[in-house]
Chain A
């Protein structure tokens, strides 16, 4: 963002400061005055509370409903918490879709896909920044343009490619087309460019090659940035829906989101919402836990570019 700050047109900043200093002690005693308290409640806590209710309540409702028996779902007097909690909805999900297989597929696709993508992003970003070749900027531009192409645009030709390779209803068929990574490359390139050159010069004098410079210097000092890229990649892989939906139609090869979409088309009665909520819990809660633990990295990765 911009660096220079225009001075306020009317007030000279220096006297303003001294004036606010003079006012500071009576302000402190006023902090607990009834008027100020009411003000804080109305303009601070109340809006936050409303925002939190709107954001959190649907998720609480999801978890709570997933433990409700059918008669508490179809009731005309719904309660927030299940009166007679049961795990029956989860058992039904397991009967409708091969839950363990589907979960396993999702875990494999997410972990294998993420590991390869992050490795590729690291090596590509390193090459773009530290290996001087003519045209590297052009290649970077090509990667930037690729960043813009949504999966819907490449879906049809990719479907034909993977089908021709025999990749329908296989896990590698789900993983392969998404492996080329533009986002991680972009983020790590920006980061590598910001590393001080002196870090590498000493190693160069010792005769270190690019491999050693990458894995003994660049990677260790960039762990926060790499964590950011990894976490964002994991979240995206786990939630990925369009491509697995197209490339799988066998229930044993589906990932969790695709299987839940199928569950939704089977269970379309009002009485089935408990089952659908159990399914939603299974796909939502793992990411919620990861996010709660590591939100610092994820937020910075997902809002990158906004604040430079």
Chain B
């Protein structure tokens, strides 16, 4: 027992024996019951002093952390709970009447053609955005890993789109993609390809927003991959070179296996980011969600966009939350432990 430790913590030495009122009760059904009564008395006093110290700590804790906790409760947890309630209603935003419909909103999201379309679009967008930015990010990281002058500048430049406003980035790329006067149209024209109708065709719309998202996101992947590459011990690669392993062989037999923790980390964070961070690009480039209504965009479109179906929107929000929750839980459970080289 840390008994010396406890007395040390007690504020006033006198309180140890004087403030004790119910000595017998505490020690009775505990192992210490066999100890002399004086000890039991002390234990109770300790407990009480501890409690007083606790309540002093609690008020300090609440003074320091309370405002933030309150804000998080009010604007993150309360909405989460309210969404679960709203999701059981057939209800239009601003309407005085709402009819309880049980799980019908969920059923609709998982079975109706429009709901399944959202899943399809989300799947394609996520796969394209994640694979695109990870593959390109890895290629850039491999290049930046060489000791050549100017690579610090290159690293900064490649990362920079990640911190820029999605609205601004979307405007810039709209001009580039414009089928009539866009820079891409001129480039494709030079090669002899006719520019797709980027703003009209739903599939082209989806491809376009994936490209823009990858452009904005690949620097993040490159920088994280670069950190992973730099943690690979040099002598390992040197000895492989001496064993006449070529660059391709070195990459697949040494670099990639050693990089698996980074790959999995990026895979999970990128899946989560691509499902939650793309709203500004989607909203500005394709305001009606024509072919680009991913799950986050659909939540917005259903409640504040053209549809005004608040209950249905809340149900989708709940589904998104649990999807993210499961992805994160899987990451914590498996990625942190199981993926290690050796």
Contact = CB atoms under 8 A, between A and B. Distances in A.
Interface in B295-341: 296, 299-300, 303-304, 310, 313-314, 317-318, 320-321, 324-325, 328, 340-341
B296 A260 contact: no
A61 B183 contact: yes
A123 B168 contact: no
Given A48-B151, A298-B163, A155 B303 contact: yes
A287 B93 CA distance: 36
A142 B72 contact: yes
A186 B154 CA distance: 30
Interface stretch (B21-29, B30-38, B62-70): B62-70
A153 B303 CA distance: 11
Main secondary structure of the interface of B (DSSP, over half): helix
A242 B161 contact: no
B321 A257 contact: no
Given A181-B68, A292-B156, A241 B279 contact: yes
Given A152-B279, A265-B287, A280-B168, A146 B236 contact: no
From A146, A149, A270, residue with most partner B Cβ within 10 Å: A149
Interface residues of A, number: 107
B208 interface: no
Interface in B230-254: 231, 233, 235-236, 238-240, 242-243
A4 to B, nearest CB: 8
A47 B143 contact: yes
Contacts of B289: none
Interface stretch (B10-18, B74-82, B115-123): B74-82
Contacts of B238: 16, 20
B191 interface: no
B71 A180 contact: yes
Given A241-B166, A280-B168, A284-B168, A180 B151 contact: no
A162 to B, nearest CB: 9
A152 B276 contact: yes
A180 B76 contact: yes
Contact of A51 (B140, B162, B176, B314): B140
A239 B68 contact: no
Interface stretch (B102-110, B124-132, B220-228): B220-228
Contacts of A128: 65
Interface stretch (A37-45, A84-92, A198-206, A220-228): A37-45
Contacts of A127: 60-61, 64-65
Given A180-B68, A260-B168, A156 B175 contact: no
Contacts of B139: 47
Contact of B261 (A2, A73, A246, A284): A2
Contact of A52 (B157, B161, B240, B283): B157
Nearest to B272: A148
B2 to A, nearest CB: 14
Interface string A143-169: 101101110111111111100000000
Contact of B64 (A52, A210, A261, A305): A210
B175 A277 contact: yes
B223 A299 contact: yes
B143 A1 contact: no
B144 interface: yes
A156 B186 contact: no
B172 A280 contact: yes
A208 interface: no
Contact of B148 (A10, A44, A62, A179): A44
A279 B178 CA distance: 17
A159 B317 CA distance: 14
Contacts of A153: 79-80, 83, 299, 317-318, 320-321
B169 interface: yes
Nearest to A12: B239
Contact of A11 (B65, B223, B242, B299): B242
Contact of B83 (A10, A47, A156, A280): A156
A120 interface: yes
A54 B215 contact: yes
Interface string A233-276: 00100110110011000000000110011001100001001001
Question: Which 9 A/B pairs are nearest by Cβ-Cβ distance?
Answer: A180-B71, A154-B79, A157-B79, A127-B64, A150-B276, A180-B72, A11-B239, A127-B65, A157-B82
6 contacts: A43-B143, A58-B172, A121-B68, A142-B69, A239-B165, A257-B280
Given A58-B172, A126-B64, A133-B58, 17 more contacts: A2-B340, A51-B154, A61-B176, A75-B181, A78-B183, A148-B321, A156-B79, A177-B75, A180-B74, A180-B76, A265-B287, A270-B178, A276-B174, A276-B175, A284-B165, A303-B224, A306-B265
